C-alpha cells in the first residue's frame, strides 16, 4: 500500500557484525507460464544472458547493510510506519507495539479485540489508512474465535493520540465459516483506494476444496470498503449463493500482498510441497488451488488434477519449486538503492531465510536475487518505509526489525 510521504525517521545506525561476504547469489527464473510474443522471447533471452553472468558482477546487491532497528519482538508479523518516525509492529501472540525510532520496544497497546493465537494464527497484518495523518485510522487482521473454531477477521480502529491504545475498534469483515484449524489464515491487507481494502484469505488447510466454491471465504481474496460495506461492482454480488466480498478464488495461503506502482494488486501464496506462486488477482478469476499446482502434496501425491495448468484457471506469473515459503512483499519504488532496484519486487522467504529481490519485465520475473541469506533468519515481512528504505521483520521468539541501508 502507499505509505505516507513524511519526514524520514532519524537513522541511528547500529551496524551489525559484517559477515564474511555480503555477496548475493543469482538464480535463473522459474517457468513463466503464459503466452509470450517474439519480442518477449527476445527479452527473455537477453534477461537470461544477464542472469548467467556471475553473481558478483551485480554490484548493487553488495551495496546494502542490514542495520538492526529493534530486537526482542516475539514472532513479529507486520510493520507499519507512523508519521513521527516510530513503527507499529504486530506480534503473532496478540500484541501490537510501538517501536521508537531509536529501537525501544514499547508495551502492548490496549483496546485490541480478543485474538485466537495459536498455530499460525494470532495478530497478523497491520496497515495505516492512507489518510492516517488526518484520521488516525488503521486496519489489522487476526484470527478470531467463534462458532466452529476460528477464522481470519479484519478490523479498523483509531490509534489514540498518545499511541497507547486503539479506540473505536470495529470488526469490518469475518471470514466464513469458522473451522477447527490453526493453519492457513492468509491475512495480508492492501488499501488500493481511499475507501477500498483487499484482504487475502487462506483455505485453512483442511478445507482446501472450499477454495473452488463461492459459498465460503476459504482460499479467497476479498474486496470490501473501509467501513465493511461490499462494493457494488464486486464480481459475484449478483450471483445467487456466492459471498459478495469475493474478488478472486482458488488460493491456498496468501501471506503477501502489495500494490504495484501502476495500481495493480499483486499477491503471493504458499504452495504445498513446491509451487509457491505470485499471482495478480483479477475480478472473478480462479487461481486453481487445489485443482492445479506446480507442487505436490506433502505426502508426495499429486494435487487435484495432477496438472500444473488447466483451461479456465489462471496461471501464476511466477512460481517457486522448491518452495521458499514466502511472507511479506513490497515494491521498491524509491531511488534509494539505485536504478537497478527501482520497480523490483521484494519477497521474504521463511524457509530459506532470504529476501528475494525480483527484477520484473512488466508482470514477468526475469531475474531473482537472494539477499540476507547468510544471516539465517526467517523473513516474515518486508515493507518500504516513508524514507524510501526497506524494512524487514525476522520471525523468531527474538525477532528483529532491520533497516536495509544502501552503502
State the nearest-atom distance from the C-beta of 248 to Ca ion, in Å.
10
Residues β-bridged to residue 70: 401
Residue found by looking up cell 462494493 in the block: 231
CB-CB neighbours of 256 under 10 Å: 26
Between 223 and 251, name the residue whose CB sits nearer to Ca ion: 251
Pick the stretch among 195-203, 226-234, 279-287, 367-375 that binds Ca ion (CB under 5 A): 279-287
Segment 119-158, which members bind Ca ion (CB under 5 A)? none
Q: Which is nearer to Ca ion, 288 or 386 (CB)?
A: 288
Give the span between the Cα atoms of 211 and 214, in whole angstroms: 8
Stretch that binds Ca ion, among 43-51, 223-231, 285-293, 318-326 (CB under 5 A): 285-293
Asked if residue 290 binds Ca ion (CB under 5 A), the reply is no
What are the CA-CA distances from residue 22 to residues 55, 188, 375 (Å)? 11, 30, 10
Residue 313: CB minimum distance to Ca ion, A: 7
266 lines the binding site for Ca ion (CB under 5 A): no
Phi, psi at 146, each rounded to 5°: 180, -170
Contacts to Ca ion from residues 243-262, by CB under 5 A: none
Size of the site for Ca ion (CB under 5 A): 2
Nearer to Ca ion, 94 or 288 (CB): 288
Phi, psi of 372 (to 5 degrees): 65, 5
Write down the least CB distance from residue 296 to Ca ion, Å. Answer: 14
Q: Work out whether 320 is an interface residue with Ca ion (CB under 5 A).
A: no
Q: Residue 109 and residue 159: Cα distance in Å, rounded?
A: 9
CA distance 10 to 60: 24
Q: Is 44 helix (H, G, I), strand (E, B) or coil?
A: helix
Q: Which residues are catalytic?
A: 184
Q: Is 287 a residue that touches Ca ion (CB under 5 A)? A: yes
| 288 contributes a contact to Ca ion by CB under 5 A | yes
Give the nearest distance from C-beta 258 to Ca ion in angstroms: 18
Query: Of the two residues 97 and 268, which places its CB atom closer to Ca ion in the complex?
Result: 268
Instruction: Give the phi and the psi of residue 95 in degrees, each rounded to 5.
Output: -105, 140
Query: Which residues is 105 bridged to in the sheet?
Result: 99
Say how far apart CA 83 and CA 7 lie, in whole Å: 7
The residue (of 142 and 205) whose beta carbon lies closer to Ca ion is 205
* Cα(43)–Cα(226) distance, integer angstroms: 41
Minimal distance, residue 287 CB to Ca ion, in Å? 4
Q: SS3 for 356?
A: strand
Q: How far is the CB of 213 from Ca ion (least distance, A)?
A: 16
Collapsed DSSP state (helix, strand, coil) of residue 55: helix
Q: Residue 66 or residue 288: which is nearer to Ca ion going by CB?
A: 288
Helix (H) or strand (E) holding 40: helix 38-51
Of 11-19, 53-61, 280-288, 395-403, the window that binds Ca ion (rule: CB under 5 A) is 280-288
Instruction: Point out which residues bind Ca ion (CB under 5 A).
Output: 287-288
Amino acid at each position: 500500500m502507499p505509505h505516507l510521504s513524511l519526514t524520514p525517521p532519524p537513522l541511528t545506525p547500529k551496524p551489525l557484525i559484517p559477515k564474511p561476504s555480503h555477496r548475493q547469489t543469482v538464480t535463473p527464473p522459474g517457468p513463466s507460464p503464459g503466452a509470450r510474443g517474439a519480442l518477449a522471447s527476445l527479452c527473455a533471452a537477453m534477461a537470461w544472458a544477464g542472469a548467467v553472468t556471475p553473481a558478483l558482477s551485480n554490484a548493487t546487491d553488495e551495496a546494502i547493510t542490514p542495520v538492526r532497528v529493534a530486537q526482542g519482538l516475539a514472532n513479529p508479523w507486520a510493520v507499519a510506519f507512523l508519521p513521527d518516525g516510530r513503527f507499529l509492529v504486530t506480534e503473532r501472540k496478540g500484541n501490537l507495539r510501538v517501536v521508537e525510532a531509536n529501537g525501544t520496544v514499547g508495551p502492548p497497546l490496549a483496546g485490541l479485540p480478543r485474538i485466537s493465537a495459536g498455530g499460525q494464527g494470532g495478530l497478523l497484518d497491520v496497515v495505516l489508512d492512507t489518510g492516517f495523518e488526518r484520521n488516525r485510522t488503521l486496519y489489522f487482521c487476526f484470527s478470531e474465535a467463534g462458532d466452529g473454531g476460528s477464522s481470519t477477521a479484519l478490523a479498523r480502529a483509531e490509534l489514540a493520540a498518545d499511541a497507547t491504545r486503539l479506540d473505536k475498534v470495529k470488526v469490518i469483515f469475518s471470514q466464513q465459516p469458522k473451522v477447527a484449524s490453526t493453519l492457513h489464515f492468509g491475512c495480508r491487507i492492501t488499501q488500493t483506494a481511499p475507501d477500498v481494502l483487499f484482504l487475502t484469505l487462506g483455505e485453512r488447510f483442511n478445507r482446501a476444496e472450499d477454495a473452488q466454491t463461492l459459498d465460503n471465504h476459504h482460499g479467497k481474496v476479498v474486496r470490501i470498503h473501509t467501513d465493511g460495506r461490499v462494493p457494488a461492482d464486486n464480481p459475484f454480488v449478483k450471483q445467487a449463493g456466492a459471498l459478495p466480498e469475493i474478488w478472486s478464488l482458488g488460493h491456498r495461503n496468501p501471506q503477501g500482498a502489495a500494490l504495484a506502482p501502476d495500481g495493480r494488486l499483486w499477491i503471493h501464496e504458499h504452495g504445498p510441497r513446491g509451487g509457491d506462486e505470485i499471482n495478480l488477482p483479477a475480478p472473478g478469476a480462479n487461481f486453481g488451488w487445489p485443482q492445479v499446482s506446480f507442487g505436490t502434496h506433502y505426502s508426495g501425491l499429486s494435487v487435484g488434477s495432477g496438472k500444473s495448468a488447466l483451461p479456465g484457471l489462471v496461471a501464476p506469473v511466477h512460481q517457486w519449486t522448491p518452495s521458499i515459503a514466502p511472507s511479506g512483499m513490497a515494491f521498491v519504488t524509491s531511488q534509494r538503492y539505485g536504478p537497478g532496484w527501482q520497480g523490483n519486487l521484494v519477497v521474504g522467504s521463511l524457509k530459506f531465510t532470504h529476501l528475494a529481490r525480483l527484477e520484473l519485465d512488466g508482470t514477468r520475473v526475469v531475474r531473482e536475487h537472494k539477499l540476507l541469506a547468510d544471516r539465517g533468519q526467517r523473513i516474515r515481512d518486508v515493507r518500504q518505509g516513508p524514507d524510501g528504505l526497506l524494512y524487514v521483520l525476522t520471525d523468531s521468539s527474538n525477532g528483529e526489525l532491520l533497516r536495509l541501508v544502501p552503502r
